[in-house]
Amino acid sequence: MIAIGVIIMLLGFLGCCGAIRENRCLLLIFFVSLLVIFVLLLALGILGAVEEKKVKDWVKDRLTKFTPLSSQGVEVSNDLEKLQAELKCCGLVNGPSDWDKVPDSCRCNATEPNCTSSVYSTPCSTQIINLMEKHMKVVLGIAFSIAILLIFGMVLSMILYCQISRKDTASTA
């Protein structure tokens, strides 16, 4: 997050300096940087929409690296138990069989959904993917808003770039 903040700050500084000093080179660098970010955002959006199955498989592959769960450190086990209690799931990929000894965070009442023999049967990877799908509209809305802001910044920087070009040609004539 810090690196992204630094990049955004540098881009804003480039744009401001280019506008204040009426420097076409800085404005062009600002425009190209915004264009690159826009293209990356667009590519990631298309990739996420088209390759949804691969994203799900990638999440499961990453979570599989934590199994067996009982062999993880104390901090990881505590975090996993908090995750299980919050998402009402047990295990990461294979369900309760991911644990050597099923922890209390996997225990449930028989009246709750996904509860079989007093243990949650749904693995947490499924719950995480469901959570991602549930909030995908919010993520897409934020990405769309950022894309509009990027386009707005590119348009304004190009308008200013062209105005400076006209001003320079008029002053030399």
Instruction: Tell me the pLDDT of the chain averaged across its residues.
Output: 84
**Residue 108 — very low, low, confident or very high, per pLDDT cuts 50/70/90?**
confident
Neighbour count for residue 141 (Cβ, 10 Å)? 10
For residue 84, give the nearest of 100, 63, 104 by alpha carbon. Answer: 104
- According to the model, what pLDDT value does residue 148 have? 92
Whether 107 is in a domain gets the answer: yes
Residue 35 tokens, joined: 């264009």
- According to the model, what pLDDT value does residue 49 have? 73
Whether 58 is in a domain gets the answer: no
Q: Report the SS3 class of residue 91.
A: coil
Instruction: Tell me: do 124 and 152 sit in the same domain.
Output: no
Question: What residues contact 85, with CB distance under 8 A and at least 6 apart?
Answer: 105
Instruction: Tell me: do 130 and 144 sit in the same domain.
Output: no
- According to the model, what pLDDT value does residue 158 have? 92
Whether 40 is in a domain gets the answer: yes
Whether 55 is in a domain gets the answer: no
Share of the chain above pLDDT 90, in %: 15
Q: Give me the domain span that covers residue 13.
A: 1-50+139-173
Pair 70, 100: CB distance under 8 Å: yes
Residue type, 160: L
CATH code for the domain of 105: 1.10.1450.10
Neighbour count for residue 7 (Cβ, 10 Å)? 12
Domain total of the chain:
2
Q: Is the pTM of this model over 0.75?
A: no
Instruction: Tell me: do 38 and 10 sit in the same domain.
Output: yes
Whether 62 is in a domain gets the answer: no
Residue 27 tokens, joined: 């404005």
> Mean pLDDT over residues 20-40, rounded?
91
**E strands within 67-125?**
115-116, 119-120
